């Protein structure tokens, strides 16, 4: 599955590849476009002999560490593993997907960062767990930030801002809105990058896919497409033979 992620019989890009992860042997990863349907994702993972693992996303700060996939659907907003043969997947439509790899300990994670998870510092909690419990070296962690609704397109109300009041990273990502004080433009990427800085992660350890789900038509946007919006599949996994 090298190359640009283009399906042979499809003129659309199925997923956006991550340059930062490109040279890591055995790693499969990408941010699915709207053309990567669940069916296509399933056949892709079957082809690679990977077991697809989803999580019941609940907009929380809960993450699940798994060493195998027993088949039951766990609840939370991030999946972490060091086992080969699993394809971790989080679904988004405007929220920010983050894929993480630490090549030495072979720990990988897929994180779903909506405003609620961001307010509860989910990403920071995942990183701290990887470092403290799974012995990942902070400086060896690599991060890919996928397509999300950008700060210009994402308008939020006072209740969202309030949820960030007690956070150590405070109101990073909030920008005043043209309509005044009760509305804000919120940048999920900025807020989550601030959490990484809190964990001591450098900008060089991160790759940002500069695509807005609202602006660009290759993605699903809940805000734009409403109930018609599908979900984007963001995936990461180790192939069984890590040659």
Catalog residues that contact Zn ion under the rule CB under 5 A: 150, 153, 212, 214-215
Q: Which of 164, 24, 191, 31 is nearest to 97 (CA)?
A: 31
User: Which is closer to Zn ion, CB of 154 or CB of 235?
Assistant: 154
Residue 189 C-beta: closest distance to Zn ion, Å:
11
Residue 225 C-beta: closest distance to Zn ion, Å:
14
- Residue 53: other Cβ atoms inside 10 A: 24
User: Which is closer to Zn ion, CB of 21 or CB of 214?
Assistant: 214
Q: Which of 61, 60, 92, 89 is nearest to 73 (CA)?
A: 89
The dihedrals phi and psi of 90, each to the nearest 5 degrees, come to -115, 145
Residue 214 C-beta: closest distance to Zn ion, Å:
5
User: Which is closer to Zn ion, CB of 94 or CB of 102?
Assistant: 94
Report the residue closest to Zn ion, judged by CB: 212
The DSSP call for residue 204 is G
Tell me how far apart the alpha carbons of residues 20 and 35 are, in angstroms, rounded to a whole number. 23
Residue 221 C-beta: closest distance to Zn ion, Å:
9
Q: Which of 181, 199, 69, 24 is nearest to 129 (CA)?
A: 199
115 and 190 Cβ atoms separated by less than 8 Å: no
User: Which is closer to Zn ion, CB of 148 or CB of 231?
Assistant: 148
Residue 185 C-beta: closest distance to Zn ion, Å:
10
The dihedrals phi and psi of 48, each to the nearest 5 degrees, come to -95, 5
Residue 18 C-beta: closest distance to Zn ion, Å:
21
Tell me how far apart the alpha carbons of residues 89 and 24 are, in angstroms, rounded to a whole number. 19
User: Which is closer to Zn ion, CB of 153 or CB of 163?
Assistant: 153
User: Which is closer to Zn ion, CB of 113 or CB of 150?
Assistant: 150
224 and 214 Cβ atoms separated by less than 8 Å: yes
For the chain, the distance separating the N- and C-terminal CA atoms, rounded to the nearest angstrom, is 14
182 and 120 Cβ atoms separated by less than 8 Å: no
Residue 63 C-beta: closest distance to Zn ion, Å:
28
Tell me how far apart the alpha carbons of residues 49 and 25 are, in angstroms, rounded to a whole number. 16
User: Which is closer to Zn ion, CB of 10 or CB of 210?
Assistant: 210
């Amino acid at each position: 599955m090298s190359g640009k992620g283009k399906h042979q019989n499809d003129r659309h890009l199925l997923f956006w590849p991550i340059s930062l992860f490109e040279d890591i042997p055995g790693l499969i990863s990408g941010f699915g476009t709207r053309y990567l349907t669940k069916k296509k994702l399933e056949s892709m993972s079957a082809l690679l002999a990977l077991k697809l693992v989803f999580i019941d996303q609940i907009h929380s700060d809960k993450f699940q560490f798994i060493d195998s996939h027993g088949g039951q659907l766990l609840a939370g907003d991030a999946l972490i593993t060091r086992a080969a043969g699993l394809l971790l997947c989080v679904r988004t439509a405007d929220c920010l997907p983050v894929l993480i790899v630490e090549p030495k300990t072979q720990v990988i994670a897929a994180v779903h960062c909506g405003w609620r998870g961001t307010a509860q510092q989910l990403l920071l909690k995942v990183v701290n767990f990887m470092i403290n419990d799974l012995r990942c070296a902070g400086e060896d962690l690599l991060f890919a930030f996928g397509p999300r609704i950008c700060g210009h397109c994402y308008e939020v109300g006072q209740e969202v801002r309030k949820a960030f009041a007690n956070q150590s990273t405070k109101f990073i990502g909030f920008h005043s809105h043209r309509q005044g004080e009760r509305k804000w433009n919120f940048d999920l990427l900025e807020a989550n990058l601030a959490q990484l800085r809190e964990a001591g992660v450098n900008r060089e350890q991160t790759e940002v896919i500069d695509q807005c789900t609202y602006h660009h038509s290759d993605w699903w946007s809940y805000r734009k497409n409403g109930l018609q919006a599908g979900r984007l599949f963001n995936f990461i996994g180790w192939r069984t033979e890590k040659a």
